[in-house]
Structure 1
Amino acid sequence: MRPFIVTAIIATAAGAVFEAIGMFLPWLLGPMFALLLVNQFTKLPLYWPKILRTAGLVMLGVQIGSSFTRAAVLLMVVDLPYMAFMTVSVVALSIGLGLLFKRMVNESLATSLIGSIPGGLAQMVVIAEEIPSANITVVTMMQTIRIFMVVTIVPFLTIFLNGRGVGELEQRIFSFSPMLFLLAFIIGLALYAGMKRIGFPAAELLAPILAMAVLQTVSGDVLIDMPYWLIAIAQVFIGANLGLQMEGIGDKLTFRLGAAIVLNNVLLISFTVLIAFILAKWLPEYIFLDFFLSAAPGGIAEMAITALAVGGDVALITGFQLFRLFFILLVASPIVAFVVKKLDAKTEY
């Protein structure tokens, strides 16, 4: 209990300080940076229960799901070709960067490819565990550092981009219906149970998003509008977990490995800028910010939080991110794992 209380005080205080000085995404980045530094440079015992991270993801999932109006979902169907173009481009470059990483640090092909594909830390580590030639420690470092870089670099870059003002955002009329919300809760629980049964990742976030999106599309109503303070609590829950998740990274990194990982991610983030620029020119009715956050190789939760803060189209950005997540987990990663296992078998690894 004492480590948890200390962790909660540090996380909340850091968020409040970042908020007071006008820092971007204060309630997410404040706890993350503070706990990362305390964990790295002190012996102070820290603890953050998984249930709070889960609660934060569920609250954020409900908020993201409430952005999916009927019009937004219909627009996503029209955007499917652009989602496919962006996703295939980012995944193809990730594989190319994986091959470059292999040459730079002389790691195995499995380690380099799985570590470079932006499919999420937990998911990529699980895939790496199934391949004997994969170095799980390096895969974990590559995915963790990428998340850290995206969560810190991408939000700060959006400060220089033009988002939408309050008047430009779609006006949503909040209409609470107890029966519909109860139905959304039941559907969300069923989706969560099904995802957990098949081992699908990020069920805590995806289940409420999909449940809210389905009910709001069918009913045409916006079922809930969460206040800022509740979204801030969700960000603290997620930010504290991120900060502690990066434990001991500095102790395991060599200079050469660290430089290769940083270069890999800088090139990937730069490429997402290019892809966003191409799509913004191709589709002038959209803004560059939406495509940049859609292409950024970060998590759905982190990019949605950024979109909420800078006036991005949350439904559009989440739709693109969801499409990439499903493509990576259901298509790209299984293919990469199959090819790598075949190559390992030929070399008798």
Structure 2
Amino acid sequence: MRKRDIANIIILILISLAVSIMLDWFGMVLPYLFGALITAVLYTKFISNDFKYPTWLQSVGLLIIGLEIGSSFRKDSLSELLDDAFNIVLITIFVVLLSIGLALIFKRLTGSTIETAILSSIPGALSQMLVMAEEDKRADLLLVTITQTSRIILVVVFVPFIASFFTENNSDPSAVMESIAPFTTLGPLSNAILIVVALIITYFLSKINFAAPIIIGPVLASVIWNFTTEIDFTMDMELMYAAQILFGIKIGIQIRSLITELNTKTMMAMLLHNVLLIIGTLIIVVIYMMFTTHNFNNLFLSAAPGGIGQIIIVASEMGSDIAMISTYHLFRIFFIILLVAPMVSWYLKWTRKKAERHN
């Protein structure tokens, strides 16, 4: 890496930290995430975009988030999650069906193929959808990538504000964290063991092309720790803030690059499609609230269409039930990979063969 790149990254992180602290002082929702995101957009536009943000920095942020997700899976909460299995399955099916239905609208708005529309619409398994788009000649890989990435950005922007209206006044994430031993107090040896196990599992998952390995690996490492040692821990708030900054910078750089690649028609189509997906999910949750005792905020964040990393950042900031929310999202990832993706793949192959016969 060039010295100029290192200097740009250090300056960007320091400015992001300063802006985040200022936004936190003003009481903004997710100040460290949005502070980094805003800083990255402005920095790459007005100061310099002649550098590459290292993937490993984003991965460090996701590793921290993954360990926090896994730390919430404890023996005392497992039975509650198992009792909620029916809700988990039903909400997942509703959200996936909604996304597939909106794919038809997206197809008409963009004039894309059905392959592109479906792969652009299904939330929660970005890497899996991109792999399928690469393999399918009728799919527009660029449009699939941009649409899926823009959804992540919209989720980061809209979901926290929607969730903030339903956050209970007594929800204090720092108070919750103080009741359990912080990660750093476990000791250097325990910290090292957890991180090494997380990296080993992540490496294995990446080798078999599993979705979101950098999130799932640390989650599994924390779960193994919880069930073998029975020593509970939670991530230090400072580490979560650092994760938000490292992750927020990456999203900000993505926003800046997406703006230069989109025309107005495509941008409006993606915006409408993703906003409808978020609104549709909100409606599903409002209706579902009539039949469950779940807190609205927990259920909405559990159903929200987006990456698990972004949603858990929001959940931890809102003092929400991370175990419940992460369980819903992890199930959706497995559901999409093991069931939806093969069905979509079969359907796309069938439509392709049908089109070839007609030609």
TM-score (norm 1): 0.90
Corresponding residue number in structure 2 for 1:47? 52
Corresponding residue number in structure 1 for 2:3? none
Percent of counterpart pairs with the same letter? Answer: 33
Give the partner amino acid of 1:174: A
Give, in angstroms, the shift of residue 340 of structure 1. Answer: 1.0
**1:65 maps onto 2:70 in alignment:** yes
Give the partner amino acid of 1:259: M
Give the partner amino acid of 1:226: M
In 1, Cα distance between equivalents of 2:330 and 2:247:
19
Counterparts of 1:211-290 in structure 2, within 5 Å, are 211-222=221-232, 224-284=233-293, 286-290=294-298
Corresponding residue number in structure 2 for 1:105? 110
In 2, Cα distance between equivalents of 1:15 and 1:181:
27
Contact 1:120 1:143 in 2 (8 A): no
Query: Alpha carbon RMSD of aligned pairs, Å?
Result: 2.5
**1:142 maps onto 2:151 in alignment:** no
**3-state SS of the aligned residue for 1:102?**
helix
Counterparts of 1:297-336 in structure 2, within 5 Å, are 297-336=305-344
Moved more, 107-116 or 271-280: 271-280
In 1, Cα distance between equivalents of 2:288 and 2:176:
20
Contact 2:171 2:320 in 1 (8 A): no
Give, in angstroms, the shift of residue 5 of structure 1. Answer: 2.6
CA gap 1:11/1:180 in 2 versus in 1, 3 angstroms: closer
In 2, Cα distance between equivalents of 1:232 and 1:170:
13
1:279-329: CA deviations, max 9, x gaps? 332122x20100000011111111111111112101100000111111112
In 2, Cα distance between equivalents of 1:229 and 1:177:
16
Match of 1:29 among 34, 39, 42: 34
CA gap 1:336/1:205 in 2 versus in 1, 3 angstroms: same
Give the partner amino acid of 1:16: I
CA gap 1:55/1:43 in 2 versus in 1, 3 angstroms: closer
Contact 1:69 1:221 in 2 (8 A): no
Contact 1:150 1:297 in 2 (8 A): yes
Contact 2:17 2:36 in 1 (8 A): yes
Corresponding residue number in structure 1 for 2:171? 165
CA gap 1:241/1:251 in 2 versus in 1, 3 angstroms: closer
**1:205 maps onto 2:211 in alignment:** no
Match of 1:191 among 191, 198, 201: 201
Give, in angstroms, the shift of residue 174 of structure 1. Answer: 3.1
Contact 2:194 2:222 in 1 (8 A): yes
The size of the alignment, in residue pairs, is 347
Give the partner amino acid of 1:242: I
**1:80 maps onto 2:85 in alignment:** yes
Give, in angstroms, the shift of residue 250 of structure 1. Answer: 2.1
Corresponding residue number in structure 1 for 2:181? 174
1:202-254: CA deviations, max 9, x gaps? 222211112212331454430x2332112111111111111112343223323
Structure 1: gaps spanning 5 or more residues: none
Moved more, 63-72 or 249-258: 249-258
In 1, Cα distance between equivalents of 2:282 and 2:136:
32
Structure 2: gaps spanning 5 or more residues: 1-5
CA gap 1:335/1:197 in 2 versus in 1, 3 angstroms: same
Contact 1:180 1:215 in 2 (8 A): no
In 2, Cα distance between equivalents of 1:48 and 1:267:
32
In 2, Cα distance between equivalents of 1:304 and 1:235:
11
Give, in angstroms, the shift of residue 183 of structure 1. Answer: 6.0
1:114-137: CA deviations, max 9, x gaps? 001113443322221110001111
Corresponding residue number in structure 1 for 2:97? 92
CA gap 1:166/1:107 in 2 versus in 1, 3 angstroms: closer
Give, in angstroms, the shift of residue 180 of structure 1. Answer: 6.8
TM-score (norm 2): 0.88
Give the partner amino acid of 1:50: T
In 2, Cα distance between equivalents of 1:332 and 1:40:
39
Contact 1:110 1:337 in 2 (8 A): no
Give the partner amino acid of 1:193: Y
